[in-house]
Chains A and B, each alone.
Chain A
Amino acid sequence: MLKVNDINVYYGSIHAVKGISFDVNKGEIVTLIGANGAGKSTILNSVAGLLKTRTGSIEFEGQSILGTAPHLIVSKGLAMCPEGRRIFLQMSVEENLEMGGYTRKNQEAEQSLINVYDRFPRLKERRKQQAGTLSGGEQQMLAIGRALMSRPSLLMLDEPSMGLAPILVDQIFAIIKELNESGTTILLVEQNARMALSVADRGYVLETGRIVSSASASVLLNDDAVRKAYLGG
């Protein structure tokens, strides 16, 4: 479904992503794990079209999306929920969601809104509330809900558990699992490797811009090196 081949991404002279290749098959949850600064967000932003890659290729559903404008990538069914809960703080919950349906026709967006509210009743309760006044967990739900408004076939999530209390982390991961079960393919970026690997089918381990290992999630969970570096022994 998504095929990333040998991409290199630079910030000026900083070589942040060094020849990375990976793929995501339909129906999977694939996770990229790695420490802070490993290049995880850079990879997602490149796939979403927010950053330019210098070399390599990115294919989605068999078509190259390299150099395609971000809004066109979204309309192809590839959505990203960016790191750090970037919601529109001044807008209401519902307006945030409506912005998420931007690439969809009006009726489709209305149906999406109903679906998102079904999945997140909490957001429905607070639909009039200004997004900036939501709690951290609710903001994360809003960010995910907003990404779902475009009805992506592949959803990329950048550190959805960041800064959340453990109970909320559990909730968010339960939601991710549910989303996947109802047919959305997921590319999940996490520093919380244990949680990520517990829901994922496969994982890639990143270190300073390179992939150092890749295997099924259960294998990585039991890998000595991975346990030492990312799972606390």
Chain B
Amino acid sequence: MKKVKKLRKSTRSSLITYGLVILFFVIVQVMMITGNLSSSLRGQLVPIAAYIVMAVSLNLTVGILGELSLGHAGFMSIGAFAGVIVSTSLENQIANAPLRLAVSMLVGGILAAVVGVIVGVPALRLRGDYLAIVTLAFGEIIKNVINILYVGYDSSGLSLSLKSANALGLEEGGKVVLNGPMGAVGISRISTVTAGFVLIIVTLFIVLNLMHSRSGRAIMAVRDNRIAAESVGISITKYKLMAFVISAALAGLAGSLYALNFSTVVAKKFDFNTSILVLVFVVLGGIGNIRGSIIAAAVLTVLPELLRQFNDYRMLLYAIILILVMIATNNEKIKNLINRVTLMLDLKTKNDPKKGGAA
């Protein structure tokens, strides 16, 4: 009896979330068909989908696991560039674009997951905000590494260099896929709104099912009371890692989707500001609230576009709206999170040679 009822309550909430996304997708499709969608808004649809997935996946780390990550965009970056490289390399082998997109995204997600393990294992074993520090550094490192990475593709396969595009020594007809600071160039734009929609649904399926599963409850137990969780026999590292790696993998998928929507992408796109932006989505949507993350990510991604008519006041209005929402959703969890982020930011500024307090 009780089991059935409990199930129903969480299922109902999940169904509303799915319904919301489906409804949104249908409305967008109808507007596209009837020509009621401005082209600038239309161009935003795939990025919106990518950011929704970013926000939902970060919420898994921040809201459900209760760990602070300041480098979520780093995983997006890995997915983005891995996806572009795979897609370009398979252009001849897999002619079918949706299939190539799926394969590229999958590789991007898997690679991000692997990196998630590498970043997460040392950081999550420790108590305290080590994950925040490590992910902060990780985001910066990824950006800088991709900035000096040159990748080319020709009939002999992929080649790699840290010096220049010429050093790749490509054959006639070969392609530079990743051109150092210029980023990935000449990407064939195979991402679609439908792919974005499918990715959101898959993400929700994974995250919502995890949350309502036995493992999900263990993850939340670790968050709520580490010692109690440990004393009842929950393996802390295992569950922390599980949540974090799933979160990283989803960000990788989102990154591939995002990158394959543009003809060029630079590493700087996935810097610290993007990580913070996604964190803002999570905070505004409600920490631990998946539906909130979706709405916040969607609204805040289109908002700057919608405010375009106000020209110079655009970002000012954006900031004011952000602040108003912050005040409206004012609560303990957010204050606590903001304190933690500010602490990390202090640390970042102190160690940043450019802004260097020491010099």
Over the window 193-228 of chain B, the binary record of Cβ atoms lying under 8 Å from chain A Cβ atoms (1 yes, 0 no) is: 000000000000000000000100110110011011
| Pick from B224, B230, B235: contact of A89, CB under 8 Å | B224
CA distance in complex: A75, B233 (Å): 7
CA distance in complex: A127, B2 (Å): 10
Query: Is B229 interfacial (CB-CB < 8 Å)?
Result: yes
User: Are A102 and B231 in contact, with the CB atoms below 8 A?
Assistant: no
Query: Is A66 interfacial (CB-CB < 8 Å)?
Result: no
A28-36, A78-86, A198-206 - the one binding chain B: A78-86
CA distance in complex: A48, B233 (Å): 10
User: Are A88 and B221 in contact, with the CB atoms below 8 A?
Assistant: yes
User: Are B225 and A71 in contact, with the CB atoms below 8 A?
Assistant: no
Report chain B residues within 8 Å CB of A80.
Answer: 231
Residue of B nearest to A70 (CB): B230
A95 CB to nearest B CB, Å: 7
Report chain A residues within 8 Å CB of B214.
Answer: 102
User: Are B233 and A86 in contact, with the CB atoms below 8 A?
Assistant: no
User: Are B233 and A102 in contact, with the CB atoms below 8 A?
Assistant: yes
A-B contacts, CB under 8 A, total: 73
User: Are A88 and B228 in contact, with the CB atoms below 8 A?
Assistant: yes
**Looking at B2, B220, B231, which has the most chain A CB atoms within 10 Å of its CB?**
B231
A5-13, A144-152, A209-217, A224-232 - the one binding chain B: A144-152
Considering only residues 221-249 of chain B, those with a C-beta below 8 Å from chain A are 221, 224-225, 227-235
Residue of B nearest to A86 (CB): B228
| Pick from A90, A94, A102, A127: contact of B232, CB under 8 Å | A102
B232 CB to nearest A CB, Å: 5
Query: Is A20 interfacial (CB-CB < 8 Å)?
Result: no
Q: A50-B227, A50-B230, A82-B227 are in contact. Are A71 and B221 (CB under 8 A)?
A: no
Query: Is A100 interfacial (CB-CB < 8 Å)?
Result: yes
Count of chain B residues near A, Cβ 8 A: 17
| Pick from B218, B220, B227, B233: contact of A74, CB under 8 Å | B233
User: Are B225 and A88 in contact, with the CB atoms below 8 A?
Assistant: yes
Report chain A residues within 8 Å CB of B220.
Answer: 88, 90-91
Report chain B residues within 8 Å CB of A90.
Answer: 220, 224
**Looking at A71, A91, A103, which has the most chain B CB atoms within 10 Å of its CB?**
A71
Query: Is A87 interfacial (CB-CB < 8 Å)?
Result: yes
Query: Is A190 interfacial (CB-CB < 8 Å)?
Result: no
User: Are A71 and B235 in contact, with the CB atoms below 8 A?
Assistant: yes
Residue of A nearest to B233 (CB): A74
B336 CB to nearest A CB, Å: 15
Report chain B residues within 8 Å CB of A86.
Answer: 225, 227-228, 231
User: Are B231 and A50 in contact, with the CB atoms below 8 A?
Assistant: yes
Over the window 50-88 of chain A, the binary record of Cβ atoms lying under 8 Å from chain B Cβ atoms (1 yes, 0 no) is: 100000000000000000011101110001111000111
Residue of A nearest to B218 (CB): A102
Query: Is A98 interfacial (CB-CB < 8 Å)?
Result: yes
CA distance in complex: A91, B218 (Å): 11
Report chain B residues within 8 Å CB of A74.
Answer: 231-233
Q: A98-B217, A99-B217, A99-B221 are in contact. Are A71 and B233 (CB under 8 A)?
A: yes
CA distance in complex: A75, B230 (Å): 12
Q: A87-B225, A88-B221 are in contact. Are A100 and B232 (CB under 8 A)?
A: yes
B286 CB to nearest A CB, Å: 15
Give B residues with C-beta under 8 Å from A: 2, 214, 217-218, 220-221, 224-225, 227-235
Q: List 17 A-B contacts (CB under 8 A).
A: A80-B231, A82-B231, A86-B231, A88-B220, A88-B229, A90-B220, A90-B224, A91-B220, A94-B2, A95-B217, A99-B218, A99-B232, A99-B234, A102-B218, A102-B234, A150-B232, A150-B233
- Give 10 new A-B contacts, CB below 8 A, not counting A102-B234, A150-B232: A70-B233, A71-B230, A79-B232, A82-B227, A86-B225, A89-B224, A98-B217, A102-B233, A147-B231, A149-B232
Closest 4 CB pairs of A and B: A74-B233, A86-B228, A103-B233, A71-B233
